[in-house]
């Protein structure tokens, strides 16, 4: 039964994908519409489906998508595919979202990101927006033979494992491990071991840690700072602060960009749906 459900959902996702231009290096679905959430009131069948489409040439892709799906876009569509791509690449987290779209009887939201920008985020964690999503359960629907992208996807998961381990205490449960992003189990978290792991973290996270820990006027290099952090009992908390410094600004910028890419009306409706979902979750926790 479970296998049949997975096969059925895969067919449904590919059918939705057929409504869009084919030139995708990666397409995946995520969220409550794909994976059943905890709680008796979870309604997976009617939940909005979330997609991310990765494209090598955003201008060409948006040009074709505007011809096929003109009504998906906000007022920005009149500016053309080049301006849409400029907004996509240069503002927020490098993603252009079209939310609240009816497709094959399902409500969907889809984001478009350049392959090069995604690879950079996967390797360096420039903003951890899509890279962070790809550290969680997702349903891969389509993927081409892009060696650089496949390698970056693997590197992102390895970086997540390393970072999760740095933030875990010496003793942790299986649940703790999965919460912090599944990783390897080690018996002795020595300063030397932590320094080795810190040195393998993505560049942007290393730079944020250096910014947090480097006293004014010192201007220490990153390696010196990471060596100090490796010997600090609060090493995990410093890593958390570094992650927060990456994620918070990009999320805020992406949300602001959404007002323009989705349009004011859709943004209000989408925000209302998100608040309603959060409210239902809060009621479940308090009941």
Nearest of 192, 144, 189, 180 to residue 23 by alpha carbon: 144
Task: Give the pLDDT band of residue 41 (cuts 50, 70, 90).
Answer: very low
User: Which is more confident, 101 or 253?
Assistant: 101
> If you average pLDDT over residues 263-281, what whole number do you get?
56
Q: Highest-confidence range of 91-100, 112-121, 125-134, by mean pLDDT? A: 112-121
Q: Convert the pLDDT of each residue in 152-194 to its tens digit.
A: 999 999 998 888 888 887 777 767 766 776 333 233 756 666 7
In total, the chain counts a number of residues equal to 287
> If you average pLDDT over residues 232-246, what whole number do you get?
84
CA 17 – CA 49 distance, rounded (Å): 12
User: Which is more confident, 270 or 84?
Assistant: 84
Q: Convert the pLDDT of each residue in 211-236 to its tens digit.
A: 888 766 567 788 888 888 888 877 88
SS3 content of the chain, % helix, strand, coil (to 5): 60, 10, 30
The pLDDT value recorded for residue 162 is: 84
With beta carbons less than 8 A apart as the criterion, state whether 14 and 139 touch: no
Q: Is the pLDDT of residue 286 over 60?
A: no
Percent of the chain scored above 90 by pLDDT? Answer: 31
- State the chain's mean pLDDT as an integer: 79
The pLDDT value recorded for residue 68 is: 96
Nearest of 24, 27, 77, 74 to residue 50 by alpha carbon: 27
Encoded tokens for 282: 């809060």
**Which domains are assigned to the chain?**
2-146 (3.30.460)
The pLDDT value recorded for residue 4 is: 47
Task: Give the pLDDT band of residue 2 (cuts 50, 70, 90).
Answer: very low
Task: Give the pLDDT band of residue 78 (cuts 50, 70, 90).
Answer: very high
> If you average pLDDT over residues 76-80, what whole number do you get?
91
CA 163 – CA 250 distance, rounded (Å): 19
User: Which is more confident, 233 or 105?
Assistant: 105
Task: Give the pLDDT band of residue 85 (cuts 50, 70, 90).
Answer: very high
Nearest of 35, 217, 46 to residue 138 by alpha carbon: 35
The pLDDT value recorded for residue 184 is: 30
CA 112 – CA 56 distance, rounded (Å): 10
């Amino acid at each position: 039964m479970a296998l049949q459900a997975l096969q059925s959902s895969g067919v449904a996702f590919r059918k939705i994908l057929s409504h869009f231009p084919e030139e995708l290096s990666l397409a995946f679905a995520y969220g409550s519409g794909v994976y059943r959430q905890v709680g008796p009131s979870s309604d997976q069948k009617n939940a909005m489906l979330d997609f991310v489409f990765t494209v090598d040439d955003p201008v060409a892709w948006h040009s074709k998508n505007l011809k096929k799906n003109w009504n998906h876009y906000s007022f920005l569509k009149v500016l053309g595919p080049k301006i849409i791509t400029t907004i996509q690449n240069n503002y927020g987290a490098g993603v252009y979202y079209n939310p609240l779209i009816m497709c094959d009887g399902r409500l969907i939201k889809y984001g478009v990101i350049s392959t090069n920008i995604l690879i950079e985020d996967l390797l360096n964690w420039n903003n951890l927006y899509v890279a962070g999503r790809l550290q969680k359960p997702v349903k891969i629907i389509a993927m081409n033979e892009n060696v650089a992208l496949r390698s970056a996807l693997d590197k992102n998961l390895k970086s997540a494992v390393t970072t999760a381990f740095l933030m875990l205490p010496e003793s942790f449960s299986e649940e703790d491990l999965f919460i912090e992003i599944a990783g390897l189990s080690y018996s002795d978290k020595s300063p030397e071991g932590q320094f080795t792991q810190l040195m393998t973290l993505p560049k942007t996270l290393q730079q944020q840690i250096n910014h947090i820990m480097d006293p004014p006027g010192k201007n220490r290099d990153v390696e010196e700072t990471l060596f100090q952090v490796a010997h600090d009992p609060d090493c995990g908390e410093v890593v958390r602060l570094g992650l927060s410094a990456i994620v918070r600004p990009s999320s805020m910028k992406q949300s602001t960009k959404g007002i323009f890419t989705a349009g004011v009306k859709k943004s209000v409706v989408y925000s209302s749906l998100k608040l309603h979902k959060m409210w239902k979750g809060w009621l479940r926790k308090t009941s």
